[in-house]
Structure 1
Amino acid sequence: MAVLKVIEVLSSSTVSWEDATKQAVTEASKSLKNIRSVYVKEQSAQVKDNAIVEFRVNLKITFEIE
């Protein structure tokens, strides 16, 4: 039987929400093994001078505990 744990992380990117999500998984995988899934809980963006300058995501990452 597998035991799973869920953590919540925040990430940002100047490119896109997808890029922010990919960066979060890449960084989390440096210290977590067996990542199973990612759930995007919230998305937001920072606006400056009527343009989006930063995309932000709040993610839940699920991984298997060994």
Structure 2
Amino acid sequence: MTVAKVIEISSSSSKGIEDAVKDGLKRAAKTINNIKGAWVNDIKVMTDDAGKVTEWRVNMRVNFVLD
């Protein structure tokens, strides 16, 4: 029998969405084993006063199998 768990995490990057996702998963993998995937469920940007994007933020659900 296999049991999986889903947690929600947030991550950010000044480079872009893909970098924010990769950084978040890399950090999660330091304390979580058997990560199988993630669903990005929210994307947000932070801007400066001129409207230029300064930071990308993602919220994602990470799926992993319990040992």
Where on the TM-score scale, by shorter chain, does this alignment land: which range? over 0.9
1:64 lines up with 2:34 in the alignment: no
Alignment-derived partner of residue 16 in structure 1: 16
What SS class does the counterpart of residue 43 from structure 1 fall into?
A: strand
What SS class does the counterpart of residue 23 from structure 1 fall into?
A: helix
Deviating beyond 4 angstroms after TM superposition, the runs of 4 or more aligned structure 1 residues are none
Query: If the length of structure 2 is used for normalisation, what is the TM-score?
Result: 0.96
| Distance in 2 (alpha carbons) for counterparts of 1:24 and 1:52 | 19
Identical aligned residues as a percent:
35
Alignment-derived partner of residue 55 in structure 1: 56
Q: Which of the pair is proportionally richer in strand?
A: 1
Deviations 1:14-35 (A, max 9, x none): 0001100000000000000000
Query: If the length of structure 1 is used for normalisation, what is the TM-score?
Result: 0.97
C-alpha displacement of 1:50:
1.7
Give RMSD over aligned pairs: 0.5
Alignment-derived partner of residue 26 in structure 1: 26
| Distance in 1 (alpha carbons) for counterparts of 2:38 and 2:63 | 6
What SS class does the counterpart of residue 55 from structure 2 fall into?
A: strand
| Distance in 2 (alpha carbons) for counterparts of 1:20 and 1:13 | 5
